Structure 1
Amino acid sequence: MEPRVSLITLAVKDIAASAAFYEALGWEREPGNEGVVAFNLLGQTLGLYSRAGLAEDLGIPEEAIGGFSGITLAHNVRTAEEVAPLLAAAEEAGGRILRPAGEVFWGGFIGYFADLDGHVWEVAHNPFSELSKEGAFRWGGY
């Protein structure tokens, strides 16, 4: 298997509301199939898919999908000063702040929010991993 993630799919209760949430953060929706919303990222795509549809695809009951799974999604920024405004934008769009912006033990500056369905996002500035000019992240920097 090649070392990459192509598509991240989030199971959501209300696709339209979740799409509006991510659009409020400045992401652009791609034209596509009915029932799936896609946002192209740097090297990946974030997909929004109904909880019921994903459960059906997996062959499990819908109620088996949910709760904090121990996975967080991260959005790295170029400076520590960018963290708090992004958290504020997420909160204004209907998200919930889980940890306000602040320093972390390893020398970075982070905060966490949950989207409308509880998917946990970290907004982080890692001074040891400079982003590419396009904004791509790689451990250890570009």
Structure 2
Amino acid sequence: MDQRISFVTLAVADLDATRRFYLDGLGWEAEFIEPGDVIMIRAGEHLILSLWVEDHFEAEVGPIGRGDGVAPFTIAHNVASPEEVDAVLASARAAGADPVSDGEQREWGGYTGYFGDPDGHRWEIAYNSSPIGQIVLPAT
């Protein structure tokens, strides 16, 4: 198996709210939309973010675990500066993200903040000046 990820799929409760948040609010562009089913967004050179209606997700993948708290994963979007972290968080807030935590300096040396999409999936917006943080940035 090649060492890569091709799709990240998130189950969503309301596809219209999800579309408004990602496409209208954040300004992203869909590669594919099947109304009432899925929105697919190119999130990298070889990576698709797939936003799939919950009941269709459950029919194929299995029951979604529900309960209190945050799902035990984040999706990270790395940027080139702390100022960009703050700008992206402001953009997410304007798009209706809730909750949104302000960017802050982390003990490991980075600067990060978080927002939740309409289904509560947590996005980390991060500036990481270390070599591992730099390899994920697009070439300029």
Bin for the TM-score computed over the shorter chain: 0.7 to 0.9
Q: Distance in 2 between matches of 1:40 and 1:13?
A: 21
> 1:48 maps to which residue?
51
Alignment of 1:13-28 (within 5 A): 13-23=13-23, 24-28=25-29
Alignment of 1:71-90 (within 5 A): 71-90=73-92
Is this contact kept in 1: 2:32–2:41, CA < 8 A? no
Q: Unaligned regions of 5+ residues in structure 1, if any? A: 135-142
Q: Distance in 1 between matches of 2:100 and 2:91?
A: 14
1:75-123 residue CA offsets vs partner (Å, 9 max, x unmatched): 0001111011111111111111343111111111100111110000000
The number of equivalent residue pairs is 132
> 2:39 maps to which residue?
37
1:13-46 residue CA offsets vs partner (Å, 9 max, x unmatched): 1111102211121210113434110001212000
> 1:139 maps to which residue?
none
User: SS where residue 34 of structure 2 aligns?
Assistant: coil
* Seq. identity, %: 38
AA in 2 matched with 1:28: E
AA in 2 matched with 1:31: F
Q: Distance in 1 between matches of 2:62 and 2:72?
A: 22
TM-score calculated relative to the size of structure 2? 0.85
| Consecutive aligned runs of 4 or more in structure 1 exceeding 6 Å deviation | none
AA in 1 matched with 2:124: E
User: SS where residue 16 of structure 1 aligns?
Assistant: helix
User: SS where residue 127 of structure 1 aligns?
Assistant: coil
Q: Unaligned regions of 5+ residues in structure 2, if any? A: none
- Compute the displacement of 1:65 (Å): 4.9
The Cα RMSD (Å) is 1.7
TM-score calculated relative to the size of structure 1? 0.84
AA in 1 matched with 2:9: T
